[in-house]
Every structure is written in structure tokens, then in C-alpha cells.
A and B are shown apart, each in its own frame.
Chain A
């Protein structure tokens, strides 16, 4: 199983970009990198996923290192509603979640 390393917590100011890093040095060649987030008192929600190329959607962008051993989730303009725990998961059979990064957004 690929293991991930994410900072325990990060802070951002509202309206500023946020870069959330994740190291997954043992990822296998065919595993997609998934990002989810969990807002307080809610179930996790899918944010974005990718394999090798950088990906963009309406929620965020995902930058994947060329060697695939790390990735960065980019929120282009953080809002108060983006305050959540963000999980990076190299996909596989089990989709196990790590501790994630708790993002605090300050007004």
C-alpha cells in the first residue's frame, strides 16, 4: 500500500491561493492520485483526481510531480467554505485515508 505524508494543518487567508502538498513516494505506476475533503460534520467529498498530467476542475487544480512521488492540490482563491480536512489518497483497492491536512481559512 502506498503511504502518504501530509502536513497536519495549514492556514490561509481568504481570497488567497492555497497549495496543499502530499508525498506518496511508494505509489505504484497505475495508481491514480485522489483528493477528498471533509467539511465539519459532513461526509467526505471528492475534489479531484489524476494520474500523470496536471488536472483542473471547477473546485481545484492538481499538480502532479513528474516522478509521481508527490502532488499538490491548489485552491486558487480560498473561501471560508473551503475550511476542511483534505485527504490525499493514492488509489488502490482499499482507498485508505490518512490523517489529512486541516485547512483553516482566516477572513
Chain B
């Protein structure tokens, strides 16, 4: 049973380009969470999605960032017009349900903006 798969593991983008981060949840999991971790800082919640629906995006910056979790395929975190401050590790987690079930995390995508 494969775990949460994130790709790419490392992504380098120039300022102004777009970054697309993919997350394939564990089989049978319909809930996905995205987190951002700046160097030497803690995990910051960004968005919580259930298949085709955004449940909570209160941690997402209002501009340039968007997330989706389509009926088919992985969840995508999209960052438009990246800036140096977007350089961070982005982690995705999945679970089969809310609250009671543990989250399973991927190994993250490390985004570097040059």
C-alpha cells in the first residue's frame, strides 16, 4: 500500500514563474491537507480539501496560491508568479476521514525560487 506521494521532490523556479506541486493521497483517502514549512520554522496549515471541494482555505495566501483536488488524479497546489519568499518545503497529508483518523504525510516538495 503506497504512502502519500508528492512530486517533484525538488523544484527550482525563477521569480515570476509558476510552480505546480502534486500530491497523490493514499489509496482510499479522500481528504487532503497542504502545509508549508519555511526554513527553521514550524508547519503552517494552508488548505484542507475533500474530493472536488475546498473545505478550509483559511491558511492560504489570498493571491497567487490555489489548490484543487479533482475527482480523478492528484491534488495540485499551484503558485503563480513565484517570489523568493515562497521558497519552502510544502507537505501534503491525507486521511480517510476527519478528526479521528491520523494524517499520513508525504516527504514534501522543496521549492527554491531563484
List chain A positions with a Cβ less than 8 A from chain B: 30-32, 34, 36, 38, 42-46, 49, 85, 87, 91-100
Instruction: Report yes or no: A43 in contact with B45, Cβ–Cβ below 8 A.
Output: no
List the B residue with the shortest CB-CB distance to A48. B102
List chain B positions with a Cβ less than 8 A from chain A: 33, 35, 42-45, 48, 55-56, 58-59, 91, 93, 98-100, 102-108
Q: Please name the 6 residue pairs, one residue from A and one from B, whose CB atoms are nearest each other, closest first.
A: A43-B105, A46-B102, A97-B43, A91-B99, A96-B45, A44-B105
Distance between Cα atoms of A102 and B85 in the complex (Å): 25
Instruction: Report yes or no: A94 in contact with B45, Cβ–Cβ below 8 A.
Output: yes
Distance between Cα atoms of A58 and B44 in the complex (Å): 28
In the assembled complex, the CB of B36 is this many whole angstroms from the nearest CB of chain A, namely: 11
Given contacts A93-B48, A93-B55, A95-B45, contact A43 B108 (CB under 8 A): yes
Knowing that A49-B102, A94-B56 touch, tell me 13 more A-B residue pairs with CB under 8 angstroms: A31-B99, A32-B100, A34-B102, A42-B107, A43-B105, A44-B43, A44-B93, A91-B99, A93-B55, A94-B48, A95-B33, A95-B48, A95-B93
